[in-house]
Structure formats: structure tokens, C-alpha cells
Amino acid sequence: MAEAMTDEIAEARARDARRWFALAIALTATVIVVLDNTVLSVAIPTIMQEFHTTLPALQWVITGYALTFATFLIIGGRLGDLYGHRRVFIVGAALFGVGSLLASLSWNVASLVVGEAIIEGLGASLMLPATLAILSTTFSGKERATAFAAWGAVAGSAAGLGPVLGGWLTSDYSWRWSFRINVIIAPLAIIGTLLAIAPQAKRKTREPLDLPGAALVAVGMFLLVFALSEGGSYGWITPIHDVTILGAHLWPQTQPISIIPIVLAAAAAVLTAFYRVERKREREDRRPLFEFGLLHHRTFRYGLLTTVVLAMGQLGLGYALALFLQEGKHLTALHNGLWVLPMGLSILLTAPIGGRLAQRFGTPAVVRLGLAIQATGLLWIALHVGPDLTFLRLMPGLIGYGTGVGWASAQLTNLVLSDVPTEKSGVASGTNTTVRQVGSALGIAVIGTLVTTQTVSHAVREVDHSATLPPGVRSQAAAQIHAASTGYRPAPGTTSRAAAELGQIMTRSIGSGTRDALIFAACVVLVGLCVSMLLPKDSASDAPRQPGGPHDRTADLAEELAEELAGFVAIDPEAAISHAPAVTSRRRVAARSRGGPGSGHQPLLGRARHRRASPG
């Protein structure tokens, strides 16, 4: 019998060790989801040539993915709460693999949109909240900080390495390999999930999905993210381009007002209706899709607010710097990725350090320090952006920025989910990722508009005050700069001397516009730092695993085995429990209070002997 107990405890230890395999699976899924957002952007010119299509048509591949992803994140998280995160993750990974297969075999823009933007986007919206929920419910205390540090390192470095990988695959092999990688990894992730992640216990009663709430949040988020993402393309007030989808004209440029204000108003109306419907269902205890009562948790409330502000600032560097390097320094997409590679590597290397610091000084302190370092990195880059920028001058800022992201972003996600009940972790994870998407879209909209307006302003001012450009060239160039903004090129027939001067003016102007945008992004990150001061000093993420918690499986099994063994041999059950490494001193105190020496209860050993002596 002692040998049987030893085998059972060994099995419990192995089962407990599976959480690290679960972490590996979650990180793998995060990699392919994040890469899918970045790796394809550098392949757009190649795909345009192969499909003989236009840039506006092809932009719907990337825009559609972002829209689908943001639309279904909260719904995907809630489905995980209702049906189990393991099951929803498997379904999401299967959809992601199928969509990737279709995209890798695509024969025109429409088939690429269906595979990448719709099927893959839907799969990603199921996978990513599930990975965060699995981490949130599997780890606690010091291990939790380590797990989220690993998640942040992988997500951040994947975003930084995506353009490099995409450029390499497109140049040396084929852009289709960007999707074929997912076709290989997705089935492996499903197999690993079946082997390493235990299914959740079945609910006694199956709660129905809040269909009205799901429909409202899906429509509202679609409209909001569309407006924020496409405002610069179609005009915030006055139309500057026709709104077309796969060749169909939905809103011509001749309309008196742009479609964007109308879409924003519709988004506000729909999301307001969502709030009212959910609050009513919450008051009536009718299981809403999202309980706004979760915002009573300070870590959740202020963590989300910090997240949306932080996402706005973070996208400032990714958008503005890439624009400067490609339009101002005239780097290729691949060389652009290589220049910013130190940022991705620093995220990968410093995020684990952030996890260790969180264990020692607390998660909120690490988040604040990371935000401060991130803002410093942005300011460094802003002060050095210009025509004479070199890789070595840029590198310290990128390393500082990456260090700040590695410390702040992952631990902020940890903090947001720390006080959320386990049964709500999925919808909370989806909300956290949705807030990031909205913040990113808002950041791109604001930063993009700022770069464009400031570049045009600086360029037109320099052209007008140029003493060497002929008056006719000045007036023509000023009009063309207003029309083409950062994409301006001197008109055919311009003399080489005038073209060279105009090129220098545009390089300086793009640098000035980028500098203004990065300073604004740094200010936004500093606002996030101020908001983070509202976070409580201590959070559940810093606490050790609670006794009797839903994921303390090794401790539970060890205690049950000790009780059973006590019925046959005279041992101290507390000593047997102590052999399980996951059991804390609190657990042993709890065991002592139920029947150990000095308690008012009958000893556990006595109860077991009494059961053995009883008839039957």
C-alpha cells in the first residue's frame, strides 16, 4: 500500500509539472498569433504583384484580421469561461490552422481575405484569451510573475522579429510560408494541449451565452476599431478616398461628409446599448456576457485604463519609426526590421528579469519602473531622429524601450487578471486584449495623423522659404506635398538639383514629424505611469497560491492519499502531506486544524481507524 501511495504522489508531482508544458503551449500559440499580425506587412508589395491587385484592396487583408480579432475577443473569452478554456483553445487553434492553410493556397485577394482576415482572425480571438486565462488560473505567486514575464517576452519579441522573419521568407522563399508555418504549428499545439492541459471540471448547470450582449459588443467593437483604424485613410471629416471593399464602392468620395464620423457615432450608440443591456442583466442575475461589476476591482479597473493608454504610446514607436526609416532613410522593409531588432531582443532578455523583480518588489512597482524606462527610451529616439541617424545612435533608445516593454507590459497583464475570479478569467482576458487593440488603433490613428500633419507642415514651410527653388517648383511641390504627405516624390521633369533639395527637405520634415510624434508618445506613456499610481500596492498576483484553491491539485491529492493510507498504517498524515512539494506551510496548518494534535477535532488517523473498524 505504501508503494501505491508513492506511485500516486509521483503521479501528482508529474501532473503538477505539466503546468510548465501548458506554459510552453500558451507561448507557442502567442507567437503564431502575434507573428501573424506583423509578418505579412512586409510582403504586401510582393502579393500585389502576384495577384495583380491594388494596395487599397490588399489592405483589407490586414485591416480585416484586426477587425475580426478585436470583434470577437470578449466573446471568445466568455466562451472559455462557459465551455472550458482548453476546449475553446483547441477550437481556436483548429480554425487558425484551417485559415492559414487556405491563405497559403490563396489564388486571389478574396480567398486571402477569407483565410487570413476572417478564419484566422476568428481563431486568434479564441486562442489568445484562452492562453491568458490558462496562465492566470494555472500559476500563482512567484510562478505567476515568471509565467507572465515569459508571455510578455515572447509576445514582445515576436512583434519585433515579425518584420525580419517576413522579409526573409518573402525574399528567399515565398510569402506563403508565413502561413505554412502556422499550418505546422497549430496541430502540434492541439496535440500538446490534449496531453498537457487538464480539462476543467464540468459545470453542474450549463450557463447560456448572452446572445444580445455578444451581438452588441461584436458590432460595436467592429465599428469602433474600423473608425479608429481607417480614419486616416478615408478622412476624419471630409472624404479623401472612396470606401471600397473587394471592388464594391460603399461610400464615394463625392459625399459631403466622410463615413468615419457616422461610424464613430454608430459605435458609440451600440456600445452604450451594450452597457445598458449588460448592467440590466447583471442586476437581474441573468449571467451577462461581461460583468461591469468586475471594474470594482482596482487592479482590473486601473490596470485596463493603464493598458489602453500604454498601448496608444507603444504603437507610436512602431508606426512612426518604421515610417521614418522607410520614407526618410529609404530602408527596405527587411533592413527596417533589422534596425529595430535590438528592441525585440531586449524584450526577450529583460522580461524574465522583470518577473524576478516582481517577485521581490511587487508587480505594481515593476510596472511603474518599466513605464518610466519606456518613456525614457522614446525620448532618446525622438532626440536623435534625423537625416544623420545611425544604427548605433538608435540602439540605446531601442534597448531602453524594449526593457521598459519587457517589464511593464507582461506584468501589467498579470496585474489586470490578478483579482478576477477564476470563473471570469476568460472574459477578463478577452477584455484586456480588446482594450489593447482599441488603444493600439487609437494610437495609430492619433500618431499617424500627427506624423502626417507635422511632416506636411514642416515640408511646406521649408519649400515656401527656400531661396534656391524656382517659384513654379515651390508652388507645385507645396500642392503635391499636401496631397501625398509623407509619400511625396518630386514630379517628373523636375531638375536634378531641385529634386535633390526637395528630397532633403522631405527627409528633414519626416524626421521632424516623427520626432513630434515620438515626444507625444512618450508623454502618453508618462500619463500611463501616472495612472498606474492608482494601482494598489499589493495584489493577488503577488500572493502565494491559496490553500484549497481550485488549482492546488497536488496538495489536494496528497492530503487525500494521506487520509487513505492512515486507515491502514500508523503514520502521521501531516508528515505524508509534507512529501508533496506544492504543499505550503499554510496547507499543513489547515490539515492540523482539521484533526491534528492540539485541535478540538478527532484526529484524522482516529477517523480512518474508526472507518476501518465499522461494519461494511
Q: Regarding predicted confidence, which is higher, 206 or 382?
A: 382
- From 511, 537, 563, the end of a domain falls on 537
> With 60 as the cut, is the pLDDT of residue 277 above it?
yes
DSSP string for 73-129: HHHHHHHHHHH-HHHHHHHHHHHHHHHHHHHHT--SHHHHIIIIIIIIHHHHHHHHH
- From 479, 508, 537, the end of a domain falls on 537
260 lies in some domain: no
583 lies in some domain: yes
Are 397 and 506 members of one domain?
yes
> With 80 as the cut, is the pLDDT of residue 392 above it?
yes
Are 310 and 442 members of one domain?
yes
Q: Give the model's pLDDT for residue 565.
A: 35
C-alpha distances (whole Å) from 513 to each of 59, 198, 206, 583 are 24, 52, 55, 57
Q: Give the model's pLDDT for residue 267.
A: 93
Q: Give the model's pLDDT for residue 588.
A: 41
Are 608 and 508 members of one domain?
no
> With 90 as the cut, is the pLDDT of residue 475 above it?
no
User: pLDDT tier at 205 (50, 70, 90 boundaries)?
Assistant: low
- Taking the CB of residue 294, how many other CB atoms lie within 10 A of it? 18
- 3-state secondary structure at position 225: helix
Are 487 and 363 members of one domain?
yes
> With 70 as the cut, is the pLDDT of residue 177 above it?
yes
Are 526 and 567 members of one domain?
no
Q: In this predicted structure, which of 204-208, 378-382, 508-512, 531-535 has the lowest mean pLDDT? A: 204-208
204 lies in some domain: no
Are 451 and 570 members of one domain?
no
User: pLDDT tier at 361 (50, 70, 90 boundaries)?
Assistant: confident
Q: Give the model's pLDDT for residue 393.
A: 92
User: pLDDT tier at 535 (50, 70, 90 boundaries)?
Assistant: confident
- Residue 540 DSSP code: G
Cell numbers representing residue 500 in the block: 535633390
> With 90 as the cut, is the pLDDT of residue 541 above it?
no
87 lies in some domain: no
> With 50 as the cut, is the pLDDT of residue 568 above it?
no
Are 349 and 414 members of one domain?
yes
C-alpha distances (whole Å) from 395 to each of 217, 380, 524 are 41, 10, 22
190 lies in some domain: no
Query: Could you tell me what percent of the chain has a pLDDT over 90?
Result: 14
Residues sharing a CB contact under 8 Å with residue 612, sequence separation 6 or more, in sequence order: 567, 568
- Read off the pLDDT of residues 44-101 as tens digits, 9 standing for 90 and up: 767 877 887 766 667 677 778 878 888 888 888 888 888 888 889 999 999 999 999 9
Averaging pLDDT over each range in 53-67, 110-124, 150-164, 556-570, which range is the top one? 110-124
User: pLDDT tier at 572 (50, 70, 90 boundaries)?
Assistant: very low
Residues of the domain holding 532:
294-420+428-537
C-alpha distances (whole Å) from 432 to each of 62, 198, 534 are 21, 24, 18
Q: Give the model's pLDDT for residue 600.
A: 40
User: pLDDT tier at 179 (50, 70, 90 boundaries)?
Assistant: confident
119 lies in some domain: no
Q: Give the model's pLDDT for residue 273.
A: 94
Are 559 and 531 members of one domain?
no
Are 507 and 558 members of one domain?
no
Q: Give the model's pLDDT for residue 134.
A: 83
- From 503, 537, 571, the end of a domain falls on 537
Closest CA to 32 of 160, 185, 140: 185
Q: Give the model's pLDDT for residue 24.
A: 85
172 lies in some domain: no
Asked if 524 contacts 313 with a C-beta cutoff of 8 angstroms, the reply is yes
- 3-state secondary structure at position 287: coil
**pTM of the model as a whole:** 0.69
Q: What is the CATH number of the domain that holds 512?
A: 1.20.1250.20
User: pLDDT tier at 264 (50, 70, 90 boundaries)?
Assistant: very high
Into how many domains does the chain fold? 2
> With 60 as the cut, is the pLDDT of residue 561 above it?
no
Cα gap 339→325, rounded to integer Å: 9
User: pLDDT tier at 16 (50, 70, 90 boundaries)?
Assistant: low
Q: In this predicted structure, which of 122-126, 304-308, 333-337, 521-525 has the lowest mean pLDDT? A: 333-337
Q: Regarding predicted confidence, which is higher, 553 or 367?
A: 367
Residues sharing a CB contact under 8 Å with residue 334, sequence separation 6 or more, in sequence order: 42, 163, 164, 167, 168, 171
Are 526 and 568 members of one domain?
no
How much is the average pLDDT of 426-440? 79
Are 395 and 515 members of one domain?
yes
280 lies in some domain: no
User: pLDDT tier at 344 (50, 70, 90 boundaries)?
Assistant: confident
Averaging pLDDT over each range in 53-62, 159-168, 494-503, which range is the top one? 494-503
Are 447 and 513 members of one domain?
yes
